[in-house]
Amino acid sequence: MHSAEKRSWGEAFGAFVHPRVITMLFLGLSAGIPILLIFSTLSIWLREAGVDRSTVTYFSWAALGYSFKFVWAPLIDRLPFPILHSILGRRRSWLIISQFAIIGAILWMGLTDPAENLTMMAFAAVALGFASATQDIVIDAYRIEAANTDLQAMMSSAYIGGYRIGMIIAGAGALTIAGLFEAEGTYQHFAWMVAYGCMALAMCIGVITTLLVSEPDVERLDSKFFHKTSDYVRFIAMFAITVIAFVIAIIYAAHITDPLRTALIDGGMIRELSGFVAGAVKLGIAIAFAILVAWLTTRVGLTPTGMVQEAYISPVKDFVDRYGKAAIVILVLIGVYRIADIVMGVMANVFYTDLGFSKEEIAAVSKTLGLFMTIAGSFLGGVLSVRYGVLRILFLGAFLAAISNILFAFLAYIGPNTTMFVIVIMGDNLCGGLATAAFIAYLSGLTNISFTAMQYAIFSSIMTLFPKILAGFSGTAVDAVGYSWFFIGTAIIGIPVLYLVVMAGRLTDVKGPDDARDAPSNA
């Protein structure tokens, strides 16, 4: 396993008060507010407004930008924002623009009554998802560039802690505010307008933080192709045309995938699996068509080949060149590290309800106590990573994430015991926070400063793709084997991750994650 310099407990705890670490606490809060305003908080609002359940679930697609943010991450990495770049710098200029876009989208949602104009609310939610994903791209890049590897674990911990606090504000906070301004038992748009207005005001914390902090002092490769205004316009035009092509392909691919799904069901395939296959085919068609359109725009001269290579190909080539054969092991590790908790987590709320716990108990234990335990776990993971090295805690986190799922199996066996419920939630969220802090620090160490935004965006997309796909079959698995064996199974599938952590540590012993930040680019 990759060796790391062992530090004293004093140095480990001293990292808490580093100015960059404190900065990440506030930027994490800024990143945590928008997500629930698209998901659970918005879902409650829509249901109160009389929107049917199936339509409410469609609004979760507004956050798809989080899964595909690597597509426009090169624009954030390569394109300086006009005028503001010379005043604030590359990262802070994009950060302030994304934060103002988030505030604008939140206000747009607040001023829109879904009971009267659901389409407009959908556009506002998509705008918030895109702006929030953009902010995430910039914050990730800023975090990696703003401090050396010694602080990355604590930076990650502070970010997670702030993110969870932001979720509390946008979840419990927004719901409490809405409740104060509405009459009992009646839907009032004004109450939600005030709640979302307060959330927009809370985003000012992130804006103030961005204005107060300094731009990261890093040496980046000079762009070979982005010099004139026309270069940026051409590249953005290529990006816009490609996105439009993707959307059109998604819409018209249904003419192929809908009959395919019907045929698969008629052939005996279960409905959930047929839906996954049809969805995968639709996504594949859309991606292939978008790539074709991007290639054609390059061929006709709209975008020089060098621009595309520098923005999209060079970051991938740089990673492969630095790690060689070890790159495959690292990517597999990234793709499955969170498999145990993501696959289990999809069924968690359903499990609590099926077991007989009330909404009040679930809210108090899982949503409130669980959030605070996650924050505690993230800071514990940061301290231990500084003290013992990221890879050791990465291994510990993977082990604890798998073992903690056994607690759920035990809870399923004994039934709705409140004391055991509290113990399970405390243990699971503490372990999850520790593992996530170490994992984010590990991913941060893999990036090259020359391609920070693009490489980290790819890593963060890969880390949830396969686990989320597998999690889609969680309900089917529970129906087949029951909750106890399901949770034991999720623990078992997390065991191979331990081997991958050890293997990745051995293969990168000479040029490991801790060296990636300073590695020269071969672009």
Residue pLDDT, tens place only, 91-135: 899 999 999 999 999 999 999 999 999 989 989 998 999 999 999
What pLDDT, on the 0 to 100 scale, is given for residue 516? Answer: 44
Question: How does pLDDT run across 247-261, given as a tens digit for each residue?
Answer: 888 788 878 887 887
What is the identity of the amino acid at 483? Y
Q: Tell me which fold the domain 312-523 belongs to.
A: Growth Hormone; Chain: A; (1.20.1250)
> CA angle 6-387-148, nearest 5°?
85
Whether the predicted pLDDT of 512 surpasses 60:
no
What pLDDT, on the 0 to 100 scale, is given for residue 205? Answer: 95
> How many angstroms separate the Cα of 361 from the Cα of each of 168, 350, 414, 432?
17, 14, 17, 21
Section 274-283 average pLDDT: 74
Residue appearing with tokens 């697609």: 61
Confidence of residue 153 (pLDDT cuts 50, 70, 90): confident
From the centroid of its chain, how far is CA 116?
32
Give the start-to-end residue ranges of the domains of the chain: 7-218, 229-303, 312-523
Record the tokens describing residue 458, joined without a space.
């790819």
Q: Is 112 left (phi over 0), alpha (psi -120 to 50) or beta?
A: beta
Q: What are phi and psi of 334, to 5 degrees?
A: -60, -40
* pTM for this model (two decimals): 0.77
CA dihedral 301, 303, 304, 307 (to 10 degrees): -170
Question: How does pLDDT run across 194-221, given as a tens digit for each residue?
Answer: 999 999 999 999 999 999 998 887 665 5
Lowest mean pLDDT among 30-39, 100-109, 393-402, 513-522: 513-522
Pick among 3.30.470.10, 1.10.3210.10, 3.40.1160.10, 1.20.1250.20: CATH of 7-218: 1.20.1250.20
Helix (H, G, I), strand (E, B) or coil at 224: coil
What pLDDT, on the 0 to 100 scale, is given for residue 53? Answer: 62
Whether the predicted pLDDT of 4 surpasses 50:
no
Whether the predicted pLDDT of 368 surpasses 90:
no
Domains 7-218 and 312-523 share a fold: yes
Section 463-482 average pLDDT: 76
